Amino acid sequence: MKTEEQREEMKETAADSQMQEEKACQGEEESQAEKASADAQAPKEGAAGEEAGKAETGEPEKETAEKKGFFKKKKDPRDEKIEELTDRVKRQMAEFDNFRKRTEKEKSAMYEMGAKDIIERILPVVDNFERGLASVPEDEKESSFVQGMEMIYKQFQKTLEDAGVKAIEAVGKEFDPSFHNAVMHVEDESLGENVVAEELQKGYMYRDSVVRHSMVKVAN
């Protein structure tokens, strides 16, 4: 028969064997779990790499653009017709505005030409008024007839001024061919060189243009 010590020793040996078997099983389970985890992670990394590759090559953007182009709404023919008619109306309005401005400019030029022509016809009458009043003797200047003529002459001048007609200043001014017409030259030491000494016939302007140049004598 086995002694008590041998029994105890056998129990301890059996316990050690069981513990080793449990550790071996546990290690095998951990190894299988790690392998399963690695296998599960590998597809994810592969998918991530594939997506990154697509992002680098621009494939998703291309697909998005294609989808947008596919689903883009076609333009309504009625809208195209409206745009065409609107553009035509705008162009016609611009052409009409240019025509209106050109017509107004031409009308203004024609009016100015007509006004200058009438003024040129009136100026000799003004000259005759001045000559007639200048030839009146001193003892007759107080007569009612002469005073009446002077009043008519002043009214005539006022009407011309209101219409934009004004006399050109000449005597004592430096000769300017744009306004003066020199018909004589005189020696006059009291005047500077190229200065108008005498006005033989008045010149007139209508607005900013010369209707008649002043006829003058110029000092040398």
Residue (of 208, 206, 202) closest to 180 by Cα position: 202
The domain limits of the chain are 79-219
What's the pLDDT at 165? 93
Q: What is the pLDDT of residues 27-44, one digit of tens each?
A: 556 556 565 555 555 444
The one-letter amino acid at 114? G
Rounded to an integer, what distance in angstroms lies between the CA atom of residue 142 and that of residue 1?
187
Helix spans in 58-187 (H): 59-71, 77-134, 144-162
What radius of gyration do the chain's Cα atoms show?
Answer: 58
What's the pLDDT at 48? 47
Determine the average pLDDT of the residues in 153-173. 91
Determine the average pLDDT of the residues in 160-183. 92
Q: Is 94's pLDDT higher than 80?
A: yes
The one-letter amino acid at 104? E
Q: What is the mean pLDDT of the chain?
A: 79
Share of the chain above pLDDT 70, in %: 67
Q: Is 186's pLDDT higher than 50?
A: yes
What's the pLDDT at 127? 92
Phi and psi dihedrals of 188, rounded to 5? Answer: -145, 110
The pair of structure tokens assigned to 29 is: 């389970």
CB 168 within 8 A of CB 204: yes
Q: What is the pLDDT of residues 97-130, one digit of tens each?
A: 999 999 988 888 888 888 888 999 999 999 999 9
- What band does 182 get if pLDDT is binned at 50, 70 and 90? very high
Q: What is the pLDDT of residues 51-80, one digit of tens each?
A: 545 445 545 555 555 555 555 567 788 888
- Considering Cα of 122, then 127, then 130, then 135, what sign does the dihedral take? negative
Q: Is 172's pLDDT higher than 70?
A: yes
In this predicted structure, which of 26-30, 141-145, 149-153 has the lowest mean pLDDT? 26-30
Q: Thinking of the domain 79-219, which architecture would CATH place it in?
A: Roll (2.30)
